[in-house]
A and B are shown apart, each in its own frame.
Chain A
Amino acid sequence: MSRRVPLRELAHARAGDKANISNVSVWAYAPGDYPLIKQQLSADRVKQAYPDLIRGPVERYELDQLHGLNFVLRDALEGGVNSSLGLDGHGKSWSFLILALEIEVPDS
């Protein structure tokens, strides 16, 4: 048996921006949860979760020794902070979009 939990319960995250590219780093709170997150939170999954917002490709980098992943989201800021008409042109809150995704956790 397993249950689905929001990533926010297993990991913390921070968003940054450069021009029209957002990056969100995701860090497992407990090292033991990192393999699950790494396995289930693929670049494809992130891209497909928010196709309207993330218009370009998504790349993922792994820092296994720190139990962290870095997602680079291209063309994901509606043109970037100086072009976007949105309230959060930097995408400062994009970290919480990623943390809203669910991870399947086996019952222990």
Chain B
Amino acid sequence: MIRIGTGAGFSSDRLTPAVDLARDAALDWLVFETIGERTLAFAHRDRRLDPASGFNPRLDARLRAVLPHCRVNGTRIITNMGVANVAAAGQCALRLARELVGDDFTIALVYGDDVTSVLPPDTPLEDLDGAVVGDLRANLIGANAYLGIDAILPAIDTGADLIITGRVADPSLFLAPAVSHFGWLLKDWPLLGKGTLAGHLMECGMQVTGGYFADPGFKDVSHLADCGYPIAELDDQGDVTITKLEGTGGVVNVRTVKEQLLYEVHDPSAYLTPDVTADFSNVLIREMGHDRVRVSNASGCERPDKLKVTVGLDGGYLGEAEISYAGAGAAGRARLAREVLKELLDRMPDCAGRCRLDLIGVDAVHGSARLVPPEIEEVLTDVRLRVAVRSTDQVLIDAVLWEIEALLCCGPAGGGGFRSRTTPSVVTHSALIDRGLVQTRVEVLRA
């Protein structure tokens, strides 16, 4: 059996429960998964502005908190906190290791996911009809291939205490330790499919232990504030039990596992990773006791020929501004503010199609898809007008945001609580790359 815990399921995930796992869970491996489509593109941008950045900004805090416990318990760490700058992340980790655990600490860095310079210009972009990578060169921020276990396994073989990667497929972070531990063959597709399911269930952290789940009165979760991260117990047949530390909040039951089973999955019989085409369509889920759920019967067939690539592009800037209307007739006043604003923005050149005007509390998130009935809207006492604009032209964005601020004195009665911000924007697209163009390698650092 191998015990693997998740210490983060996204870039800003909570830290304290990860320390609990490192200290108390007797783990073989602790995994920090921190990359999303957005975080990767932003990390490329950060690195361009400062060559020492571009990795997960929480790497220092996370490793500082768990390294001493992992050292005591013999728990090895694997993480993609290298994001767009694995080398700099490695140096940061090396300094920490020297400070906290002294010598005899090894770090393995996995390189090769950054394919910005080798992605052929004639590569089609999957989600842009007819467009190829070359069309977008001017705005290209970075391109990263999703690496798989074949890139990670050599790092595990070095015996490193800590493995840092950039973009790898999330389930591969969990599958690689299992393959190494059990000696599974790289072409044993059904086993790799099972291990991939375990990784998929674990990769989003608390989403399988009660996070992203509670719906009071329908799906109640106890002590959500102290929700525990998940632990996977994998056996040599690839079947897995998902559990969590006793005494932590949250819940592991058939429902939490079902929801995570298909999270970000399209065809359940063909979940594509660099390692395998995993088949979740016949999975069985069974509660084995308090907060223990057994998942079995996944399978798999041959891995895809090509690797998926995320291509990040400069998207200019996103400007957002909000103003509140509260008390009697709030929605009516907010609606009037929106009409006034729309009239003014329509007069601005180049503004059409770049702006969106929402009433938070009425139609912001689901838009027109689900309208608040008029009799409900009438009694709302807390409505916030929001404007969003995306453009490469900061002057235009500033002009739009100025008009919202002006509503304080020029708009309907009682408008207050104006806030605005402008943030850099990135756009991402997907492409495929031949495996032969992606050269991976491992660098070892010793404290």
Q: Which residues of A contact B (CB under 8 A)?
A: 8-9, 12-14, 16-21, 23, 25, 27, 50, 52-53, 59, 61, 63, 65-66, 68, 70, 72, 80-83, 85-88, 92-93, 97, 100
Contacts and interface: CB of A to CB of B under 8 A. Distances in A.
Contacts of B426: 82
B258 A19 contact: no
Contacts of A25: 258-259, 261-263, 265
Contacts of A72: 266-267
B264 interface: yes
Q: How large is the interface on B (under 10, 10 to 19, 20 to 34, 35 or more residues)?
A: 35 or more
B37 A19 contact: yes
A75 B217 CA distance: 32
Interface of B: 37-38, 41, 127, 212-213, 215, 218-219, 255, 258-269, 281-285, 315, 318, 355-356, 358, 360, 364-370, 386, 388-390, 425-430
Given A65-B283, A80-B127, 9 more contacts: A19-B429, A25-B263, A61-B267, A70-B265, A82-B425, A82-B428, A86-B365, A86-B388, A87-B360
Nearest to B41: A82
Centre residue among A68, A83, A92 by max chain B CB count within 10 A: A83
Nearest to A8: B218
B146 to A, nearest CB: 12
A8 B369 CA distance: 17
A19 B365 contact: no
Nearest to A13: B259
Enumerate the 6 nearest inter-chain pairs by beta-carbon distance, A residue then B residue, closest first.
Answer: A16-B264, A25-B262, A85-B356, A14-B259, A85-B388, A16-B263
Centre residue among B258, B262, B426, B430 by max chain A CB count within 10 A: B262
Contacts of A83: 315, 390, 427
A36 to B, nearest CB: 18
A16 B38 contact: no
A86 to B, nearest CB: 7
A85 B265 contact: no
A97 B255 contact: no
A14 B428 CA distance: 24
Contacts of B388: 85-86
A8 B218 CA distance: 8
B282 A14 contact: no
Contacts of B370: 97, 100
A63 B267 CA distance: 11
A66 B367 contact: no
12 contacts: A12-B215, A14-B212, A18-B264, A20-B127, A52-B368, A61-B281, A65-B282, A66-B283, A72-B267, A80-B127, A81-B38, A97-B369
